[in-house]
């Protein structure tokens, strides 16, 4: 990895996030390359999506998750794909081809759930899973783990863009981060009652859209049984993955604050020194 990629990676995918990404077992031989997405998970972030990614990686093969998105943050082709989804110009063929090229057999979490109707339309034969959680616990987890990072990245987007321009002459990485966190900027998330109302509305929309015969409403605490029965796989002998990445998000919040202060110091300290020298000379 080059120095420029390492610098951007410190913001988007530091070591504590890589541990989450790497802790999800992958069995790329579970199906032929390019066989396509067979499972689409539509549960909101912080409803057990990291654990489900790990479980589906064992059962199905590679599973696309927010951490995979972050792992591709320097890939301009990935940016073009997600921008086309955001612009509503992506065709079903382009959507299925994108995930097939990465040999992904399942998708979950943001940003996939933001464009779930397009992704479902591109994979009409895929099975659908809706992860659920106690709404109050869900909101507290989102408020603690995701909101601070999302709003920090939005508040300091100009600084991130400046750094990217200095390193790359481009700043599509910042645009990708905005695509990732876009759902969490909604005003409904600002207060618990409206956020919980959004949570229920989200689940109701999926329940009303997806035929019950092709939908599993799943609490990850239920373990392998319902999941294996739904996707038609034998139950593994290993315990069901229990990944809780909230601590990694909290750690990364502090890390981002430190990096922001450091970059501001590097940029503005020389300017302050020059101004002080000029002031001394003038006096």
Q: Where are the alpha helices (DSSP H) in 40-86?
A: 49-59, 66-71, 76-86
Tell me if 174 sits within 8 A of 160, measured CB to CB: yes
How far apart (Å, rounded) are the C-alpha atoms in residues 253 and 246? 11
How far apart (Å, rounded) are the C-alpha atoms in residues 104 and 151? 30
Residue of 7, 2, 17 whose CA lies nearest to 162? 7
Render pLDDT for 7-66 as a digit per residue (tens, 0 to 9): 555 555 555 455 555 544 444 444 555 568 999 999 999 999 989 999 999 998 889 998
pLDDT at 99: 95
pLDDT at 89: 95
Residue in this structure with the two tokens 């991130």, named with its chain if needed: 160
Residue in this structure with the two tokens 């659908």, named with its chain if needed: 128
Bond into 58 cis (ω within 30): no
How far apart (Å, rounded) are the C-alpha atoms in residues 122 and 116? 10
pLDDT at 34: 55
Token pair of 136, please?
Answer: 């109050």
How far apart (Å, rounded) are the C-alpha atoms in residues 110 and 176? 12
How far apart (Å, rounded) are the C-alpha atoms in residues 130 and 20? 21
Phi and psi at residue 215, to the nearest 5°: -135, 130
How far apart (Å, rounded) are the C-alpha atoms in residues 85 and 158? 24
How far apart (Å, rounded) are the C-alpha atoms in residues 79 and 252? 23
Q: pTM surpassing 0.75?
A: yes
pLDDT at 163: 80
CA distances (Å), origin 242, targets 49, 54, 250, 274, 276 = 10, 9, 18, 54, 55
Residue in this structure with the two tokens 């796989």, named with its chain if needed: 233
pLDDT at 259: 65
Phi and psi at residue 84, to the nearest 5°: -65, -35
Torsion, Cα 153 158 164 169, to 10 degrees, reads: 150
Tell me if 81 sits within 8 A of 123, measured CB to CB: no
Which stretches of the chain score pLDDT less than 70? 1-35, 244-260, 262-264, 267-268, 275, 278-280, 283
pLDDT at 258: 65
* Structural element, H or E, at residue 105: strand 104-107
Tell me if 50 sits within 8 A of 145, measured CB to CB: no
Domains annotated for the chain, with CATH where assigned, are: 3-282 (3.40.50.300)
Residue of 35, 92, 24, 34 whose CA lies nearest to 64? 24
pLDDT at 149: 79
Render pLDDT for 75-88 as a digit per residue (tens, 0 to 9): 899 999 999 999 99
């Amino acid at each position: 990895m080059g120095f420029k990629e390492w610098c951007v990676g410190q913001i988007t995918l530091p070591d504590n996030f890589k541990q989450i990404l790497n802790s999800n077992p992958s069995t790329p031989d579970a199906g032929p390359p390019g066989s396509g997405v067979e499972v689409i998970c539509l549960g909101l972030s912080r409803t057990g999506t990291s654990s489900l990614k790990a479980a589906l990686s064992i059962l199905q093969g590679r599973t696309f998750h927010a951490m995979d998105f972050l792992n591709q943050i320097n890939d301009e082709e990935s940016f073009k794909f997600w921008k086309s989804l955001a612009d509503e110009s992506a065709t079903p063929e382009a959507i299925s081809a994108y995930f097939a090229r990465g040999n992904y057999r399942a998708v979950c979490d943001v940003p996939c759930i933001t464009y779930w109707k397009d992704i479902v339309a591109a994979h009409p034969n895929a099975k659908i899973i809706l992860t659920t959680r106690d709404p109050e616990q869900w909101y507290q987890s989102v408020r603690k783990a995701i909101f601070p990072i999302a709003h920090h990245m939005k508040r300091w987007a100009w600084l991130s863009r400046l750094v990217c321009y200095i390193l790359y002459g481009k700043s599509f990485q910042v645009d990708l981060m905005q695509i990732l966190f876009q759902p969490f900027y909604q005003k409904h998330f600002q207060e618990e009652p409206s956020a919980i109302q959004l949570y229920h509305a989200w689940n109701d929309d999926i329940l009303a859209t997806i035929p019950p015969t092709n939908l599993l409403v799943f609490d990850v605490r239920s373990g392998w049984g319902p999941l294996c029965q739904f996707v038609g796989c034998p139950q593994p002998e290993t315990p069901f993955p229990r990944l809780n990445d909230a601590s990694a998000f909290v750690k990364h919040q502090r890390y981002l604050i430190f990096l922001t202060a450091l970059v501001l110091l590097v940029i503005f300290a020389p300017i302050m020194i020059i101004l002080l020298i000029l002031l001394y000379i003038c006096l």
